[in-house]
Structure 1
Amino acid sequence: MEGRNSTHNQPASVNIVNGTYPQLITFLVLNVVPSHSALPLLVFLVLSRKIQRHATFVNLMLVFIIVGISSSVLLYAGKHEGPEPSKLLCLLQASLLYGVPAISSMAALMLVLQMFLVIRESFYGRTYMERDHVFRSWIMVMAPYVAWLISVVATAAVGSASPGNVSRNRRFFYCSVKSDPLTDTITTVAAFILFATITFEAATVVLFYKRWVQVQQGSSSKAIDLNLPIRILSFGLYLVIAMSMSLLSIKTPQSPAPDLIIASASMVVVLIFGTQRDILRALCFWRTQDRQDPHVSLNDTESIGSVTKG
C-alpha cells in the first residue's frame, strides 16, 4: 500500500476504490484493445480516403486512442500492480488522465455540433459546404486538445506542489492526485460540456421530428437517412451517462464500476462507428464491392455522408 512507501513528511494515501485483479485486467483490456488496434485502423481507412468522414469524426477516434494510451502508461512500465510506481511516472499518468473528461467530452460535443449544423442547413433547404467553414472546422478540431492541455498542465502543477498526494493505490486502476479544488474544477467544466452536448442532441432530435412531420404531411419529399445521426446521438448519450458516472465517482468513488464503464467508451466507439456499411465494405476489401444503395447517397446533403464528410 502507498502508506508503507510514503516518506514521513508525505501523507499516506487510502485505497478508496475496491477493485480486484480481474477488474484491473478488464480495465486494461478495455483500454488497450480498441485504442491500439481497431481505432487506428478506422483512422487509417479515413485518411487513406477509402471512406469519407468529417474531421470531427476522425478527431473522436484520435482522442480515444490518446485516452487508451494514457490509461496504459503504468502497463507499459510494468507498474500496473505491485509496489507503487515512482512519483514522476505516477504524476505523468495522473496528468494525462485528468485531462480525459475534458478531451473526450469536448470531442463528442464537436462531433454532435457538426452533425447539428449540417442537419440544420439541410432542414432549411441550404447546402452545407465545408470549404465555407474552414476556420470553424479548425477550431472544432483543436478545441479538445486545448481543453486537454489545460487540464494536464493544471494537474501536473498541483501534483508537483504536493507529491505526497500523488499515488496509484488511491484509485487502484490508475494514478491520481488528491486535490478537491482540482477535481471540483474538472467536474464542473466537464459537466458544462456534457450539458452543451445534450442541448445540441435535443435540438437535432427536434429537427428530425419536424422533418418527419413534413414528410408525413407531404410538404417535403426528402426524408433524412437516420443511420449515422442515430449512431452519433447514441454515442453522445452513452458518453454523457458514462462521464456523469465517472464524475460522480470522484465524489463517491468506492465502486470500480464507473471506471470500468468509462474504460469501455473506446470499445463502444468501435462498435457504434466501426459497423457502418461503408466501413465494413472497406474492411472486406477481398469481396466484390456491393452496388451502392440508391437510397443512401454519400453526396446527398441529407444522407449519412453529409454529416461526416469534409
Structure 2
Amino acid sequence: MFVPSNLHSVLSLRRVGDPDHDATPDPKHIEAKVFVAFHIIGGLGNLLMLITALVSRRVNRHVTWINFCVTWLIFAISYTLLFYAGRQFSEEEPSFPLCLTQAGLIYGAPVLGACSTLSLVIQIWLSLRRIMQKDVQGEKPHGRESSLLTILLVLLPYVAWFGTVLGALVVGLHDTSKVMRTNSSVYCVIWTGVPGRVSAGIVAVILATAIIFQGLIAALLYRSWGAYQKLRRMDKNTLSISMVVRMGCFLVLNIITVSQIVVFLAQKTVIANIWISLTPIAAVAVFATQRDILRVWTFRKSPEYY
C-alpha cells in the first residue's frame, strides 16, 4: 500500500512547537516496538518470497515481480534503520548522519514501493496485450517484452527513489536543526513540510497511473476473455488471472490506506504509523499466497502453476 509521506503530520503526528511535541515519551516504546515488529515481519516475508522465486524452478516470475519484492524489502529496512543500528530505543539521540539517512530513506520509500508496483502493473498489461494480439493474428505467443523496456521498468523505481531521497537529504542538510527522532522513537524525520508534500504528490500521481493501467487490463480481459481462456488451457505458463486479480486487490488496499490516512490527519491519531508498518505485510499476504509459492513452502511436489 502506498501512503503519503507527509511526515510532520501523517507519520508522527507531532509537530515542533506543538504542546504534544514536548510531552514525555512513552518509556516502554510500545508504539515503536509494534511498528518495528510489523516491518521486520513484512521485510522477512518479502525476502522469503524473493528467495523462493530465485531458487525454485517451480516458481516462474517476471523480473518486475522480483524487483517488486526487492523494493518492499528496502521499504521495510528504511523504516527500521535505527533498530538495525541499535539506536531505536536508546535514550541518547542517534548520530546526525544516521538520523538524516533514515529521514531521507523514509521519504523515498513510499515512492519506491509505488513505482515498483506501477512497473508490475504495466508489465502485466503489456504481457496480456502481446498474448491477445498474437492470438488474434493466429500466431503462437512467444517471447517477452523487449529487453530495453524491461530494463526501464526495473530502473524506474530506483530513479524516482534516488531523486526523492536526494531532495530530502538536501533539505535536511540545509537546516540540520530540523533533523531529529520523533518522541515515539519510531524513526527520524525532517521537521519541514517540503519533503513530505513532494513525496505525497509523487505517490499520488503514480497511484493514479497504476489505477489507469489496471483499468486497461480489466478492459482487455473483458474483450478477450474467450481467447485468454483458450491460451491458458494451451499453456499453463501463460500469465495467470490470479496475478491480475491480486494486483487489483493490492491497488484497492492502497486506495483504502490513502483514504484512512486522510481521516487520521483530521483526527490527529498516531494509528497511522501502524498502517504504514502493515504495508510490507500486505504485499506478502497478497502475493505469497499464490498456489505455486505455497506448494514450495509446504514441500508439495506438484509442478502446477497458478
TM-score range, shorter chain: 0.7 to 0.9
The offset of 1:251, in angstroms, is 6.3
Go from structure 1 to structure 2 and tell me whether the alpha carbon gap of 1:47 and 1:155 turns closer, same or farther (over 3 Å shift): same
Residue of structure 1 in register with 2:294 after alignment: 280
CA contact (8 A) 2:264 2:272 kept: no
Which residue, out of 246, 251, 271, partners 1:236? 251
Q: Partners in 2 of 1:244 and 1:59 — Cα distance?
A: 27
Map residues 290-305 of structure 1 onto 2, 5 A cutoff. 290=302, 292=304
Which position in structure 1 is the counterpart of 2:224? 211
* Aligned with 1:196 (options 209, 229, 234): 209
For 1:5, the equivalent position in structure 2 comes to none
**CA shift digits 1:285-305 (9 cap, x unpaired):** 3x4x1263xxxxx5xxxxx5x
The residue that corresponds to 1:117 in the other structure is 126
| Residue matched to 1:28 | 36
- Which residue, 221, 241, 256 being the options, matches 2:270? 256
Change in Cα spacing, 1:145 to 1:167, as seen in structure 2 (3 Å) is same
How far residue 134 of structure 1 moved from its aligned partner, in angstroms, is 0.5
Q: Deviations over 1:14-50 (max 9, x none)?
A: 5569996333222111101231x32222111211242
Please point out which of 55, 60, 65 is paired with 1:52. 60
AA in 2 matched with 1:229: V
Amino acid at match of 2:82: L
Question: How far 1:85 sits from its partner (Å)?
Answer: 2.3
Going from structure 1 to structure 2, the CA distance change for 1:220 and 1:38 (only over 3 Å counts) comes to closer
* TM-score, with structure 2 as normaliser: 0.79
Matching residue within 95, 103, 106 for 2:112: 103
Q: Secondary structure at the match of 1:281?
A: helix
Pairing partner for 1:65 from 73, 81, 90: 73
| Larger RCO (alpha carbons 8 Å, 6+ apart) | 2
Amino acid at match of 1:150: G
Give me the whole-angstrom Cα distance separating, in 2, the residues matched to 1:253 and 1:92. Answer: 30
Three-state SS of the structure 2 residue aligned to 1:99 is helix
Which of 174, 191, 200 pairs up with 2:187? 174
Distance in 2 separating the partners of 1:221 and 1:96:
43
CA contact (8 A) 1:64 1:104 kept: yes
Q: CA distance change for structure 1 residues 58 and 93 in 2, over 3 Å: closer, same or farther? A: same
Q: RMSD across aligned C-alpha pairs, in angstroms?
A: 2.9
Structure 1 Cα separation of the partners of residues 198 and 106 of structure 2: 14
Q: Call closer, same or farther: CA 1:113–1:245 in 2, change over 3 Å.
A: farther
Q: Aligned ranges for residues 126-137 of structure 1 at < 5 Å?
A: 126=135, 127=141, 129-130=143-144, 132-137=145-150
Aligned match for 1:226, one of 241, 255, 263: 241
Q: CA distance change for structure 1 residues 129 and 240 in 2, over 3 Å: closer, same or farther? A: farther
TM-score (norm 1): 0.78
User: What secondary structure does 2:103 align onto?
Assistant: helix
State the aligned residue count: 274
Q: Which amino acid aligns with 1:38?
A: G
SS of equivalent residue, structure 1 residue 124: helix
2:155 to 139, 142, 155: 142
Determine if contact 1:16/1:253 at 8 Å carries over to the other structure. no
Distance 1:282 1:13, change over 3 A: farther
Rounded to whole Å, the distance in 2 between the matches of 1:221 and 1:52 is 19
Contact 2:100–2:189 (CA under 8 A) maintained in structure 1? yes
TM superposition shift of 1:13: 5.7
User: What is the aligned partner in structure 2 of residue 3 from structure 1?
Assistant: none
Q: Distance in 1 between matches of 2:281 and 2:298?
A: 20
Rounded to whole Å, the distance in 2 between the matches of 1:101 and 1:192 is 12
The residue aligned with 1:267 is: 281
The percent identity for this pair of structures is 26
Mark the runs of 5 or more structure 1 residues left unpaired by the alignment. 1-10, 293-297, 299-303, 305-310
Q: CA deviation at 1:142?
A: 0.8
Superposed displacement of residue 208, structure 1:
2.3
Deviation at 1:63, TM superposition (A): 0.6
Q: Is 2:31–2:184's contact at 8 Å kept on the other side of the alignment?
A: no
